Amino acid sequence: MQTDTVPTAEKPWWIRRYTLTGTAVGVVFIWLSLTPSLLPRGPVFQGLVSGGSGAAGYGLGVFSVWLVRYLRSKDTSPPPPRWAWAVLLPVGTVGIIVMNVRFHFWQDHVRDLMGVDHLKWWGYPLAAVLAVVVLFLLVEVGQLIRRLTRMLVRQLNRIAPPRISAVIAVALLMALGVALLNGVVVKVAMRTMNNTFATLNDEMGPDTEAPSSSHRSGGPGSLASWESLGREGRAFVEGGPTVAQLTAFNRAPATEPVRAYAGLNSADGIESAAELAAAELERTGGLDRGIIAVATTTGTGWVNEAHASALEYLFNGNTAIVSMQYSFLPSWLSFLVDKENARQAGKALFEAVDARVRRIPESKRPKVVVFGESLGSFGGEAPFMSLNNVLARTDGAVFSGPTFQNTIWTELTTHRDQGSPEVLPIYNDGLNVRFAARAGDLARPSGPWSTPRVVYLQHASDPIAWWNSDLLFKKPDWLKEPRGYDVLPEVNWKPVVTFLQVSADMAVAIDVPDGHGHSYQDDIANAWAAVLQPPGWTAEKTERLRHLLHSGETS
């Protein structure tokens, strides 16, 4: 007897089926993504964080179900009860509405704390739309990988047991992904970015002219051409206070400061560029100045003008600042792919300068100091590798906005005095090194401060210092302790979510006023005054210098 069978209709391609557990965990992660982080976030980055958090939660939920099924040697999981979706959808919706209201409150609070304008009303729906798009795209990528894995497992099941097949399939896909990224995507992306930023590096404004002073690289008699200094190098050489400005500020005849620089196009490689920069220092008469400052740049060759100008004002121009470029890429990209170049550049430049200084009779040697900001602080530590070496080989240092991978900074923070917080540690009773978020912190602790002195300027709200891959699954000390002065007390650690939040914070770290995030200007005056203690310098001068640095009227 023949029976008719009704063919099963295929599911339309646009219909997606999502798991209950994955969706539930994803919704919770979206709720958590709306909690406050270190810095104010605009709609774009909030959309990225919420979408990424939701996708990560969905993936963890799906993985947990698969893991339980795998451990129980089951091929399928029991379907969820019918009422589960009926409960999840309204609860999830109400929860997101409540969290959005609280997100609005938190955003206003942190923006008031930092003096930033409130979000416009349209920012909230824009963030929601972006979050949905990002969530959908990431989940779709995950679904594609899952289907590909299943296909490989089915093929491998013909020659191997199912569990071995699964392991082999996952290993093959991971190896393929790594090979594809390293062999194709990264190389093409790096080539494109290098070409793009190299073009920007060569750009010259219509009003840009080579300096007329022999005390500046690119000027008369320079060993490095004006064009080869790069955009940031030219800005550094052109910048700084004039002799007239220095004289007016200090009410005494000033000396023209020396600024020596070598660009990435000035020489063939980092070692050659470092030697060229040191030779420029010597040519410009920098070895005859009272202070020689070795500055390690960020990726593009940028030097924080506040550091350079502060030193020149403090010593009325009797200074020489030497620096060099080691990359075309912006700081955040350099940190990801050019970190070793920063280390090599910092070491090569200091050693080249130090070799020339040591040829001078000891009684006539100038003071040598080092400084750097962000990736520049990372490279600036490279010649020393320990605090004792900094103290033995320099007359002081100021590092602003240290990164979480700074060798010496990490060592000092890890071994800080018991009871001092991670965001503002005290090391060895502050005998030689001090950490400051605001100028008043330089007097902390109240005990003696010997020379040479080292200062780290760092803000509790600076994600560059506190970002770390450990944030994924480990609560850091700075979130176990009382929050810093510019961080909301509601900022708490959430697995995976905090990592994504702080990652997004890094992208906007400099888009906040001075004294917050990764923005360092005014307090640099206090730091250098405390480290070098120039003769005749007063607190009143420091305040005037802070005003100049804040207003940008130093040049």
Distance CA 240, CA 554 (A): 6
Q: Average pLDDT of 240-257?
A: 95
pLDDT at 6 (0 to 100): 43
* pLDDT digits 0-9 by tens, 304-342: 999 999 999 999 999 999 999 998 676 666 666 667 888
pLDDT at 2 (0 to 100): 43
Report the amino acid identity of residue 511.
D
- Asked if residue 184 has pLDDT above 60, the reply is no
Residue whose structure tokens are 């050693």: 351
* Distances from the Cα of 373 to the Cα of 120, 409, 535, angstroms: 33, 13, 26
Between 198 and 526, residue with greater pLDDT:
526
Between 8 and 376, residue with greater pLDDT:
376
* pLDDT digits 0-9 by tens, 142-162: 888 777 777 777 777 777 777
Q: Average pLDDT of 479-501?
A: 92
For the chain, percent of residues with pLDDT exceeding 70: 87
Distance CA 222, CA 279 (A): 10
DSSP per residue over 45-60, as a string?
Answer: HHHHHHHHHHHHHHHH
- Asked if residue 7 has pLDDT above 50, the reply is no
Q: Average pLDDT of 456-475?
A: 94
* Distances from the Cα of 316 to the Cα of 237, 255, 408, angstroms: 17, 6, 31
Distance CA 305, CA 170 (A): 50
* pLDDT digits 0-9 by tens, 82-92: 888 889 989 99
* pLDDT digits 0-9 by tens, 106-130: 999 999 999 899 988 888 889 989 9
CB of 356 within 8 A of CB of 281? yes
pLDDT at 106 (0 to 100): 92
Domains of the chain: which residue ranges?
20-197, 203-459+520-551
Q: Kindly state the greatest CA–CA separation across the chain.
A: 114
- Asked if residue 198 has pLDDT above 70, the reply is no
Find, among 466, 453, 455, the residue nearest to 421 by Cα.
Answer: 466
Find, among 553, 518, 415, the residue nearest to 39 by Cα.
Answer: 518
pLDDT at 74 (0 to 100): 73
- Asked if residue 3 has pLDDT above 60, the reply is no
pLDDT at 382 (0 to 100): 94
pLDDT at 8 (0 to 100): 45
DSSP at 286:
G
Find, among 281, 307, 452, the residue nearest to 374 by Cα.
Answer: 307
- Asked if residue 72 has pLDDT above 50, the reply is yes
Cβ neighbors of 436 (< 8 A, separation 6 or more) are 424, 442, 444, 455, 456, 457, 458, 523, 526, 527
Between 18 and 173, residue with greater pLDDT:
18
Q: In angstroms, what is the C-alpha Rg of the chain? A: 28
- Asked if residue 9 has pLDDT above 90, the reply is no
Q: Average pLDDT of 441-470?
A: 94
pLDDT at 189 (0 to 100): 62
Cβ neighbors of 356 (< 8 A, separation 6 or more) are 278, 281, 282, 287
- Asked if residue 358 has pLDDT above 90, the reply is yes
Burial of 276 (0-12, 13-18, 19+ CB in 10 A): buried
For the chain, percent of residues with pLDDT exceeding 90: 63
Q: Average pLDDT of 280-289?
A: 96
CB of 313 within 8 A of CB of 241? yes
Angle at 390 between CA 368 and CA 405, to 5 degrees: 120
Cβ neighbors of 173 (< 8 A, separation 6 or more) are 145, 148, 149, 152
pLDDT at 1 (0 to 100): 40
Residue whose structure tokens are 């990652």: 503
pLDDT tier at 190, thresholds 50, 70, 90: low
pLDDT tier at 270, thresholds 50, 70, 90: very high
pLDDT at 385 (0 to 100): 86
Distance CA 444, CA 369 (A): 22
Query: For 11-25, 220-234, 397-411, 443-457, which range has the lowest pLDDT when averaged over its residues?
Result: 11-25
pLDDT at 14 (0 to 100): 52
Number of Cβ atoms within 10 Å of the Cβ of 128: 17
- Locate 10 and state its tokens: 């295929």
Q: What is the mean pLDDT of the chain?
A: 88
Angle between helices 20-33 and 123-156 (to 10 degrees): 140
Number of Cβ atoms within 10 Å of the Cβ of 397: 28
Q: Average pLDDT of 439-446?
A: 94
